[in-house]
Structures are given as C-alpha cells and as structure tokens.
Chain A
Amino acid sequence: MRLYLRLLGAHFRSMMEYETDFLILAAATVLMQVVNIVFLSALFAKVPVLNGWTFWSVLMMFGAVALAEGVGSLFFDGMWSLAWQINRGELDYFLVRPYPVALQVSSAALGINGLSNIVTGGLMIAAGLAHSAVDWTPWRVALAVLLLLSSVVIKVSINLATNAVCFWLNSPSPMFAFAMHQVGDLARFPLSIYPVALKAVLGVVLPFAFISFFPIAYLLDTGSSQWVGLLTPVAAVYCAAVAALIFRRGLRRYESAGN
C-alpha cells in the first residue's frame, strides 16, 4: 500500500512540470460533467420522472459512475497503458521485480483528470442524497460507504479485466477496454429503461449496473428490486477475482518483444 502510493507519487512530481496540460485535462473533465448535468436538467425540465426515477436519483447514478471512473483514473491509470506495454515488451522489468505485476502496471501513470471526476461525481452524489428522504442511521451510513467502496472496486476490476484482454488481442491500443468503458456509461441511467438483453449484460456479464443503479436503488429505496443492491459487495469480490484471474492467465501468454 505504502509502496503503491510511493510509485504513484513519483509520477505526481514529474506531472507538476506540465501545469497547463493538466489544468486543461481537469477542466475538460469538469466540462464533460457540466454537459451531463445540463442534459439531465433539460430532460427533467419536461418530465418529472423517468420510469419512477427523479432528476436527483439519476444525477446520483451519473455521479456514482463519475466517481468510480475518477478513482480508476487517479489511482490506477496505468492499466490503460497495458496494451502499449505488452506490445512493446515493456513488462519485462515488471516481471523481475518483487511486487505484483498488476500493481506495477496500474501505478505506472496517474490520471489527474480523475481528481475532477471524483470531486464532481462526489458532489453529484451528495446533491442527490441531500434531496432524498433517506433515513440515516449509523448502520445505513456504514452500508452506504461499503456500497460506494464496492462500486469503485467493480469499476477498477472491470478496467483491469478488459485491459488484460490485450494479452490476447495483440493490439497496441486499449480500444477494447475503452469500448467496454463506454458501455459502462449505459449504467448512468436506471437499468429498468433497457430491454432484457441489455439488463443481462449490465447486470451480469459486465456488471456496470452494480456501480450505480443497484446500490443507489437500494439506498433510495426505489424501484422493484432494491435487495439486489445488497449484493454489490459480492459483485465486487467476484469482479476482483475474475480480473485477477484474467490478468494472471494473460501474463502467462506474455511473449515479450523483439522476436
């Protein structure tokens, strides 16, 4: 853990050299969230509820996706360079160091844009909660924190798993993982609006719905299957295990470069 922050921190200092660059990135990220909020408010200006979901609850789902994504970028951005590293044979040195390869990969970069996503996502969740009628007990607060953590774990695990697919794809860019990441954007809306096949994909195959919809449905006590939200930690453990398995399998296929 300390070593992980140490690895990340090494990049932080060098990043500070490009001050304007990362201001641009941070600003762009905020802009994207602002556009989302404008879109949502324009939409809900005309309709009070979407399938039983209010503006504030959908805002929370947008926020949850942004927050999980933000943590993924800020602390685990190196995953996105895995494809490149495999292609160039740059995992060689990672493999001879006494530290888990996956952690060396994910700490190889620090996405400062994650910070703005964490902040804006957090604000969106907070705004949503402030307008909800949740009856806060200590037990419920603890549960909410657990759900949030699980949601982040799920997002990061899916990132790792989809990026690790590059061990099989031989592509120098993380296009597959990026495409799956985009699919995750579907989970910003209530799952109930989608056809059954899509519900199955988002709920089971790539359980993005556990990042936002299910835990929020449980917390807000809305929708028809709130109890599913309680499975979020289980989904998190499952995702992390599958991601680790895929990564480990992929590593066995690693062929280095220059052959």
Chain B
Amino acid sequence: MRGYRALARATARAALAYRFSLLLGMVAVLVQLVALLAVWHVILEQSPMNGFTWPQMRAYLLVAFAAGTVVSILGDFRMAFRILDGDVALDLVKPVDYQKARLAESLGGLWIELALISLVVGVTLAVTGGVDLPPGPGLALFAASMLILVPLKFLIVYVSTLACFWTQNFMGVQWARLAVVNLFSGALIPLVFLPGWLATVAQWSPFAGLTSTPALIFLGQVDGREALQLVAVQLGWVLVLWFGARLVWRAALRRLTVNGG
C-alpha cells in the first residue's frame, strides 16, 4: 500500500511541475464544452427538445466536461512511452502490481483535474446562470456514479494503452478511443438524440458510464429503479474491465517476454 501511495504522490507532484502543459492539454475538452454550449444555446433558446431545456442541457454539458476531464492527464502518455521505449521492463521488476500502480498514478493527478473542473464549472455557472441540484437520493446516486466513473475511465484508458504492446502507433489508438468514447458516452450529444439502435448499443456499452449515466441522474431524467440499474451497469463494467485488463496484460507480458519487446 505504501508503494502505491508513493506513486500517487509522485504524480501529484509531477502534476504541479507540468501544470501548464496539463491545463493546455485540457483545452480540447474545454473547447468541446464551449462549442456545444453555444450550439445548444441557439437551438434550445426557444423550445425544449427531446426532454432537454436549455438549463438542463447546460447542466448535462457541465457534467460531461467534468467526466471528460477526470483521469485524462499524465497516465496514458507516460505509460505508452514506457511501453514503446521498452522502459516498461523496469516497471516489471518493481514489487508492485502493474495495473494497481497505474491506477495509483492516475489518482495522484486527480487533484489538479478537480481544481480545474471547479474553476470551469464555477465560471460557466457565473456566466450563464445556475443549475438545479437533484433531490437528496438522486444527488447521492450521482455522487456514487461519478466515483465509479474514475476507475471505469482509468480502465478504458489503461486497456487501450496496452495496445502499445502490439502497435507503435499510440496516437492512432488514442484518437480511435477518443472518437468512440466521445460518441458512445453521450459526451458529444445525449444518447436519446442518436438513432434508436445506436442509442441502445451505446446505453449498454461501458462508455455510457463515462458521461450519460451520471449526467442523466444529475438531471433527474432517470430515477429510482432505472437509475440504480444504470449505476449497476457502470459498476459491472468496472469489474469486467478490471479482470479483463489482467488478461490483456498477461497476453502483453507474454509478447514482451517471448519476443523481447
């Protein structure tokens, strides 16, 4: 446990050293927030659509921004470069579990992400007006969902980064992941706007838990049993991916040790 705490602390410190780079790296998510706010403001100003009013859509987009910012820094790039350079061999001789170690590192960067989220959400609300909080149980469920989102997002990033054992091209894998996550999580557009079949696929995919689930709970668009079910799916994917990632890792390791990288 001490080892993992040390890793988390190391990332926390690194986050400070690289703060400008990190903040600049978040511009992508921020730009998407600004663009979508502007688009939906124009569209929803007169009349609500698909059950979304303008204040609701604004809240949705803010949750999407927060979800998109969490666990987005440091981890994947560094991990990818260590794999591509072969430095990953050095990680293997350390007495820590690789997957847990990477999770610890991701958690270490959370503080700067949370700071940025508070800033952006605060500024947006100040400029465009406040949002309604859901009632008590909804809020608790929202908090739970956001909490589950952290390991879920880590795992999706982690598994896709393991692809570096098979391809030199980290950028390609990362872009593909970003594209898929953007669409299927509902970050780009709420899932109800998608054609029925696509919406269903997205709903049950691990990606919905990255934006759609917490956002819909926050807006109160789902509640009670339905909300619980969504969070259960989210949690289920965390478990599946956690153990699935171990299988991928074992295959990667075999590749590394057999082929010598």
Q: Hey, which bits of chain A sit against chain B, CB under 8 A?
A: 18, 20-22, 24-29, 31-32, 34-35, 38-39, 42-43, 45-47, 50-51, 113, 171, 173, 175-176, 178-180, 182-183, 185-186, 188-189, 193-195, 198
Q: Mark B182-214, 1 if CB is under 8 A from A, else 0.
A: 110000110001110010000000000000000
* B-chain residues with CB within 8 Å of residue A28 when the two chains form the complex: 171-176, 179
CB distance from A199 to the nearest CB of B (A): 10
Q: Is B221 an interface residue (CB 8 A)?
A: no
- B167 contacts A by Cβ under 8 Å: yes
Number of interface residues, chain B, beta carbon within 8 A: 37
Binds A, one of B17-25, B150-158, B238-246: B17-25
- Nearest chain A CB to B51 CB, angstrom units: 12
Whether B42 pairs with A32 at a CB distance below 8 angstroms is no
Query: Please, which residues of chain A bring their CB within 8 A of the CB of B167?
Result: 20-21, 24
Which residues of B sit under 8 angstroms from A198, Cβ to Cβ?
34, 38
| B49 proximal to A (CB < 8 A) | yes
CB < 8 Å neighbour of B176 from A27, A46, A188: A27
Once the chains bind, are A25 and B183 in contact (CB under 8 Å)?
no
CB of A39 within 8 A of CB of B188, answer yes
A–B Cβ pairs within 8 angstroms, 15 of them: A21-B167, A21-B168, A21-B169, A21-B172, A22-B169, A24-B169, A28-B173, A32-B176, A43-B43, A46-B193, A51-B42, A182-B28, A183-B31, A186-B34, A194-B34
CA A8 to CA B36, docked complex, whole Å: 38
Find chain B residues with CB under 8 A from A195 CB.
38
Query: What is the distance, in angstroms, from B229's C-beta to the closest C-beta of chain A?
Result: 24
CB closest chain-B residue, reference A45: B193
Residue interface mask B103-141, A partner, CB < 8 A = 1: 000000000000000000000000000000000000000
Besides A22-B169, A28-B171, A46-B50, 11 other A-B contacts (C-beta < 8 A)? A18-B168, A24-B172, A35-B188, A42-B189, A47-B49, A50-B42, A113-B172, A113-B175, A175-B21, A185-B32, A193-B39
Determine the chain A residues whose CB is within 8 A of the CB of B42 once the complex forms. Answer: 50-51, 193
A20-B167, A24-B173, A31-B180 in contact; A42/B193 too (CB < 8 A)? yes
What separation, in Å, do the CA atoms of A32 and B176 have in the docked complex?
7
Residues of B within 8 Å of A188, CB to CB, are: 35
Contact B24 A176 (CB under 8 A): yes
A47 near B43 with CB under 8 A, answer yes
The answer to whether A193 and B193 touch (CB under 8 A), given A21-B169, A171-B21, A178-B24, is no
Asked whether B143 is an interface residue with its Cβ less than 8 Å from the other chain, the reply is no
Q: How far is the CB of A82 from chain B (nearest CB, A)?
A: 15
Q: Is B27 an interface residue (CB 8 A)?
A: yes
Distance in angstroms between the alpha carbons of A173 and B20 in the assembled complex: 11
A46 to chain B, nearest CB (A): 6
Write the nearest CB–CB distance from B69 to chain A, whole angstroms.
14
